[in-house]
Amino acid sequence: MARTLTMDGNEAAASSAYRINEVIAIYPITPSSPMGEFSDEWAAKGMKNIWGTVPQVSELQSEGGASGAVHGALQAGALTTTFTASQGLLLMIPNMYKIAGELTAFAMHVSARTVATHALSIFGDHSDVMACRQTGFAMLASGSIQEVHDFACIAHSVTLASRIPFLHFFDGFRTSHEVAKIEILSDDNLRAMMSDDQIKAHRERALTPDHPVLRGTAQNPDAFFQGREAINQFYTACPGHVQATFDAFAKIAGRQYKLFDYVGHPQAERVIVVMGSGAETVHELVDHMVAKGEKIGMVKVRLYRPFVIKDFIAALPKTTTAIAVLDRTKEPGAIGEPLYLDIIAALREAKDQGISTFTKDPIVVGGRFGLSSKEFTSAMAKAVYDNLSSSQPRNHFTVGIIDDVTHLSLPWDPEFHTEPSDVIRGVFFGLGADGTVGANKNSIKIIGEETPNYAQGYFVYDSKKAGTITISHLRFGPRPIRSTYLVTKANFVACHQYVFLDKYDVLSYAVPGGVFLLNAQFEPDKIWDELPREVQQQILDKKLQFYVIDAYDVAKRTGMGGRINTIMQTCFFAISGVLPREEAIEKIKETIRKTYGKKGDAVVQKNYQAVDATLASLYRVKVPEKITAKRSMPPIVSDKAPEFVKNVTAVMQANKGDTLPVSAFPIDGTWPTGTTKWEKRNIALEIPVWDPAICLQCNKCALVCPHATIRPKIYEAAQLNGAPATFKSTDFKSAELKGYKFTVQVAPEDCTGCTLCVVVCPGKDKKNPAHKAINMAPQTLLRETERANYDFFLNIPEFDRTKLKLDVKGAMFLQPLFEYSGACAGCGETPYVKLLTQLFGDRSLIANATGCSSIYGGNLPNTPYAQNRDGRGPAWSNSLFEDNAEFGFGFRLAVDKHAEQACELLAMLSSSIGGELVEALLKADQTEEAGINAQRERVALLKKKLASLKTPEARRLEILADYLVKKSIWIVGGDGWAYDIGYGGLDHVLAMGRNVNVLVLDTEVYSNTGGQQSKATPIGAVAKFAMGGKAIPKKDLGMLAMAYRSVYVARVAFGAKDAQTVKAFQEADSYPGTSIIIAYSHCIAHGYDLAQGCEQQRLAVESGSWPLFRYDPRLAAVGENPLKLDCGAPKVELEKYIYNETRFRMLQTMDPERAKMLLKTAQEETTKRFQYYEQLASLKNQT
């Protein structure tokens, strides 16, 4: 009996691939990153492959780079693999052609993900792999975690036999992140699948100076075509090798696959053809329906390329009359999607060749499903069969959405389901921070690995990074689970956060008679009255068994802090009866020991105590017979919200976006800005409270706030008329603005409670220094009053920006046009973005590289970039990860061209418009806010004048006139983009001298994809792919940029010197050439309480790790040294800075000797670099 384990698809793929390869070159991209991370981790721990050697794992600077390294390793004869998805796969395509053209034995593993079109999506479909059909790679599709594990091995085996490279793919997230119980291939199994002779042949084809050959020639018309055709026999032979490998595998592992696997009635009439995880759901439906006597069947396409007509025809029952081909991709403009076209062509060719066996030619229709992980349920699959039953089946249909525009979608019955009654189905609502997902993964492990039951888990995450909700979907049953869709009919629903009851329809998931477990701070006899009406109604209607626990109380008593995972997990086992209670508790404790044992006994003991304390606090609630609720679930958004927000955004916010029809959506991915303000998330337990008596009016709180939820304003006293009674105000301390009032106001429902503002606040009560000008207080008690205060505050007009001195204090009176984003609580990036929008937001275009900043900047449902009262604000877009500098450069080219044409037209129309106005428009000084404002007024006047002109030139100028007001182009991205994948483009843009401003939000690690090292990672820091601590110092991007001598360069850290930050932004904008600001951004991936973010920034600067400087080429032009160091010589030892952070401290705990060695090198490097900067800054005669 093979060993069984529970794991997700990524681990299943990596587990096979790692053990049968020698070189692994990767680049992180969701959802494939964990495959590379597993490999790196195993290599770092010295885990050997089946030949007793540890594979080389290398992270490259992009997938393009990874594929180049793969190509090289293959050419040099190593058994090589890589893992990728989506845009990453697209970047590999050029090398894929080469690898295939050179008949190279190679297999790669792709967690298939949507390619960005009208929007980016991290979720799964086949649009990426379908873009590789033409490369010459063989394509192998797996649909379950077991198949992923098996096919990962088979792909590497068969590529050696066939010399055709293989792209093995499975569905991103649905399969890559689903956890399931599988049989593990042993090393012996894998060894048996890897032919020594074929490996020898692979080695012998390697480039070596001992037997030199030459590849990669340039060929001409006389040779290329024939050479290309010389490959044909290998493609002809390939499927035979695949089937032979499948057969050999069956003998070893006991699981038999075919090129096309048929499932269903032997005399089926209606057949679905499908690849990937969707095939599992169709399989489940077919089993269900055939048992009821339905003559249906399905074909799972295993080997998609090379496509073998004979085997496909053989797989279909002769009785087949109608075929529906399901494609998980969309090819607009094509006759149909790729698999559909292949099937049509296959049937036609089969007929032409006389190998068709059907009594009557079947009807074939094609349809799309599951784009971007859209749900595909057995009910939807049934709708596809039902369509085939109709007299005129709909072709080119969609299923899973409601298409009310082109009416292509098939209707389905959401109540239909095929899940057997002996499968336990649970849905768990948790917070990211409470550990729900981790606990559920442990439960799956316990049940999957300790009982004969099969287990499946799939986890739905939030689109935000702070206060995130997670929904875990778990199934346990006696047979393999094929339900590759979310649980909608749960017999166990757990809500780990009471507040969710007001936001989500939690109990819609519960089946009648099911269990509802709630974590709430109310006594069992009080809880009923605290539930919203909708919840009470469903508990009564569905006769739910209702349990309650105050898990936070148990957690507090047992020292668990906010982690209620162990407690809620214990409740699940105690109530569900999946395992006998005592046994379950023993298993939970064993898991705790395994998880934390090596790290610390204290944590183990705390968890044990939590388990033991749980049962005594778990109560079954005696449910009354009638509704007693005094309240209903509040509306998702305010009644004042725009129609679009109410009709579309709010539905998505309520987790019901799947119900929105096609007509609800913008046709081209264009969304309104400024909608985060309608989503009141109320995620902070405590919010800041301002004490005007102590406030120094420095506005530092506003500067550091990552979410623009604490704002100062100055206004005339008269504005206070009608203020709510609790609205606070004080005299503004200013010689120039005597009589003005000043308020610092918190947005109570938008604040994340990060406390950065409190920590940075310098105002202390002299009588009680523990009391500052800002102090945290419980949000629930303040919510109502502060909501009214904040509304009032927002309605006070903004102070005239032309009259503000734009230092730190003054700039904070400018309206932030980036607010309430989905960034982490305490984020160190967003204060820079917010500052950018305050200073230039009303005239800026932002090109944003993919990464954290594009996610919190543009991940639906809501958009944080906002508009001012005049309707102006940042225009924002994300193109790709790798091209952002060029993308923003394009903005500049267009904007300059528009402005140039506007000027030309002005000159042309001068006599009609009036020479004086034209002259003023053309020669306007727009260096200051006042000048910009004056120009806006001139443009308004110009437009008025143009309205009366009837010439075509006047019409053209009307459209372009706004470009006479200067625009600020910002190119924003993280270090992954700027230092790694986008560096080539960035370097080019820096060299072009055009007026663009680059903002590098440097967290020194890939934050968005989960902590992989970048070239910005400092020496000694532990990151994924640098598990032993990075050995090479951080790349000095600032120095590289300065080398051009024409680029404005600044290195800033707002927590260390905010005035320098504000100045650098202004100088960058004013510099008429290219500017780059490299901004220290503390990050959750650094591993410390981000409330201390500013303090860490200060230490980074004072230790010399992050020297502050500005390099302004304008100074060189007047004979001054362009480089100004904005910080003193290091005065704090590096270790005082770095060892506050887990990323550095980890190494101390893992390998103290190496930590010491790297610290020594880092300290030396830091000192040397600072001395170098000092020398440069002290040079004279720069002209």
Partner 1 sequence: MDLSTNYLGFQLPHPLMPGAAPMAGNLDIVKRLEDAGAAAIVMHSLFEEQITMEETNMIHQMEVGSEAYAESLSYFPKPNEYHLGPEEYLELIGHIKKTVSIPVIASLNGVTSSGWVNYAKKIQQAGADALELNVYYLATDPLETCSAVEGRAIEVLQGVKHAVKLPVAIKLSPFYTALTHFGRELDQAGVDGIVIFNRFYQPDIDIEKLTPLPTLALSTSAELRLRLRWLAVLSGRIKASLAVSGGVHTAVDAIKAVMCGAHAVQMVSALLQNGPEYLKVVLDGMKSWLEDHEYNSLKEMQGCMNLQKSANPAAFERANYMKILQGWRS
Looking at the DSSP bridge assignments, the partners of residue 768 are 765
Give the residue with the Cβ less far from partner 1, 122 or 518: 122
Cβ of 431: how many Cβ atoms within 10 Å? 20
Bond from prior residue into 306 cis (ω within 30 degrees of 0)? yes
Residues in 1136-1165 that interact with partner 1 by CB under 8 A:
1142-1143, 1145-1146, 1149-1150, 1152
Q: What is the pattern of x (binds partner 1, CB under 8 A) and - over residues 75-114? A: ----------------------------------------
Q: Do you know the residue count of the chain? A: 1183
Whether 1181 is a known active-site residue: answer: no
- The residue from 196, 404, 583, 601 that contacts partner 1 (CB under 8 A) is 601
Whether 1008 is a known active-site residue: answer: yes
**Looking at 281, 997, 1008, 1061, which residue is catalytic?**
1008
Position 435 contacts partner 1 (CB under 8 A):
yes
Token digits for 239? 């499927």
- The residue from 509, 1088, 1106, 1137 that contacts partner 1 (CB under 8 A) is 1088
In this structure, the strands spanning 1048-1052 and 968-974 are: unpaired
Least Cα distance to 720 among 710, 711, 730 occurs for 730
Q: Single out the segment in contact with partner 1 by CB under 8 A; choices: 211-219, 537-545, 593-601, 1072-1080.
A: 593-601
Position 612 contacts partner 1 (CB under 8 A):
no
**Looking at 113, 205, 843, 1098, which residue is catalytic?**
113
Cβ of 1110: how many Cβ atoms within 10 Å? 22
Q: Single out the segment in contact with partner 1 by CB under 8 A; choices: 191-199, 463-471, 573-581, 665-673.
A: 463-471
Least Cα distance to 36 among 850, 1023, 854 occurs for 1023
Q: Single out the segment in contact with partner 1 by CB under 8 A; choices: 40-48, 333-341, 840-848, 874-882.
A: 40-48
Give the residue with the Cβ less far from partner 1, 9 or 874: 9
Position 707 contacts partner 1 (CB under 8 A):
no
Token digits for 524? 């069992």
In this structure, the strands spanning 303-305 and 270-274 are: unpaired
- The residue from 101, 432, 532, 692 that contacts partner 1 (CB under 8 A) is 432
Bond from prior residue into 861 cis (ω within 30 degrees of 0)? yes
Position 40 contacts partner 1 (CB under 8 A):
yes
Whether 113 is a known active-site residue: answer: yes
Looking at the DSSP bridge assignments, the partners of residue 878 are none
- Angle, nearest 10°, between helix axes 565-576 and 436-450? 40
- The residue from 532, 642, 1073, 1087 that contacts partner 1 (CB under 8 A) is 1087
User: Would you say 899 and 963 are in contact if contact means Cβ atoms under 8 Å apart?
Assistant: yes
Q: Which amino acid is located at 470 in the chain?
A: T
Looking at the DSSP bridge assignments, the partners of residue 470 are 430
What is each CA distance from 855 to 260, 863, 1101, in whole angstroms?
Answer: 39, 10, 28
Give the residue with the Cβ less far from partner 1, 487 or 964: 487
User: Would you say 77 and 46 are in contact if contact means Cβ atoms under 8 Å apart?
Assistant: no
The distance of closest approach from Cβ of residue 562 to partner 1 in the complex, given in angstroms and rounded to an integer, is 9
Whole-number Å distance between alpha carbons of 361 and 387: 18
Q: Single out the segment in contact with partner 1 by CB under 8 A; choices: 36-44, 333-341, 397-405, 1070-1078.
A: 36-44
The distance of closest approach from Cβ of residue 691 to partner 1 in the complex, given in angstroms and rounded to an integer, is 15
Q: What is the pattern of x (binds partner 1, CB under 8 A) and - over residues 157-176? A: ----------------x---
Token digits for 334? 């094509």
Whole-number Å distance between alpha carbons of 919 and 385: 72
Whether 395 is a known active-site residue: answer: no
Q: Single out the segment in contact with partner 1 by CB under 8 A; choices: 35-43, 379-387, 731-739, 833-841.
A: 35-43
- The residue from 44, 794, 941, 1116 that contacts partner 1 (CB under 8 A) is 44
Position 759 contacts partner 1 (CB under 8 A):
no
Position 1008 contacts partner 1 (CB under 8 A):
yes
What is each CA distance from 943 to 237, 754, 921, 965, in whole angstroms?
Answer: 71, 46, 12, 13
Position 437 contacts partner 1 (CB under 8 A):
yes
For the chain, the C-alpha Rg in angstroms (whole number) is 32
Provide the phi-psi class of 147: left if phi over 0, else alpha when psi is between -120 and 50, else beta.
alpha
The distance of closest approach from Cβ of residue 37 to partner 1 in the complex, given in angstroms and rounded to an integer, is 7
User: Would you say 514 and 487 are in contact if contact means Cβ atoms under 8 Å apart?
Assistant: no
**Looking at 11, 37, 59, 63, which residue is catalytic?**
63
- The residue from 9, 19, 31, 591 that contacts partner 1 (CB under 8 A) is 31
Q: Name the one residue in this structure whose structure tokens are 């459209």.
A: 959
The distance of closest approach from Cβ of residue 1008 to partner 1 in the complex, given in angstroms and rounded to an integer, is 6
Token digits for 811? 């700039």
**Looking at 6, 21, 30, 878, which residue is catalytic?**
30
DSSP single-letter state for residue 745 = E
Position 561 contacts partner 1 (CB under 8 A):
yes
Token digits for 392? 């005129």
Q: What is the pattern of x (binds partner 1, CB under 8 A) and - over residues 818-847? A: ------x-----------------------
The distance of closest approach from Cβ of residue 1145 to partner 1 in the complex, given in angstroms and rounded to an integer, is 7
Whole-number Å distance between alpha carbons of 677 and 684: 16
Bond from prior residue into 778 cis (ω within 30 degrees of 0)? no
What is each CA distance from 417 to 368, 383, 477, 608, in whole angstroms?
Answer: 21, 12, 16, 40
The distance of closest approach from Cβ of residue 837 to partner 1 in the complex, given in angstroms and rounded to an integer, is 24
Give the residue with the Cβ less far from partner 1, 567 or 1050: 567
Whole-number Å distance between alpha carbons of 827 and 1082: 7
Position 599 contacts partner 1 (CB under 8 A):
yes
Q: Single out the segment in contact with partner 1 by CB under 8 A; choices: 437-445, 448-456, 511-519, 1109-1117.
A: 437-445
Distance of CA 786 to the CA centre of its chain: 33
- The residue from 322, 399, 1085, 1159 that contacts partner 1 (CB under 8 A) is 1085
Q: How many residues belong to the site for partner 1 (CB under 8 A)?
A: 62
**What DSSP line would sit under 1100-1130, residue for residue?**
HHHTTSS--EEE-HHHHHTTS-SEEE-S-S-
Position 598 contacts partner 1 (CB under 8 A):
yes
Position 381 contacts partner 1 (CB under 8 A):
no
Q: ∠1110-1111-1116 over CA atoms, to 5°?
A: 140
User: Would you say 494 and 429 are in contact if contact means Cβ atoms under 8 Å apart?
Assistant: yes
Whole-number Å distance between alpha carbons of 680 and 1024: 35
- The residue from 626, 766, 805, 1180 that contacts partner 1 (CB under 8 A) is 766
User: Would you say 150 and 185 are in contact if contact means Cβ atoms under 8 Å apart?
Assistant: yes
User: Would you say 2 and 253 are in contact if contact means Cβ atoms under 8 Å apart?
Assistant: yes
Give the residue with the Cβ less far from partner 1, 95 or 1092: 1092
Token digits for 316? 């279909």
- The residue from 93, 1023, 1047, 1125 that contacts partner 1 (CB under 8 A) is 1023
Give the residue with the Cβ less far from partner 1, 77 or 1011: 1011
The distance of closest approach from Cβ of residue 199 to partner 1 in the complex, given in angstroms and rounded to an integer, is 30
DSSP single-letter state for residue 823 = P
- The residue from 405, 602, 959, 1059 that contacts partner 1 (CB under 8 A) is 602
Q: Single out the segment in contact with partner 1 by CB under 8 A; choices: 276-284, 376-384, 499-507, 599-607.
A: 599-607
Give the residue with the Cβ less far from partner 1, 332 or 769: 769
Which residues here bind partner 1, judged by CB under 8 A?
30-31, 33-34, 37, 40-41, 44-45, 122, 173, 177, 431-433, 435-438, 441, 459, 461-462, 464-465, 468, 470, 561, 563, 596, 598-603, 606, 764, 766, 769, 824, 855, 1007-1011, 1022-1024, 1027, 1084-1085, 1087-1088, 1142-1143, 1145-1146, 1149-1150, 1152
Catalytic residues: 30, 63, 113, 1008
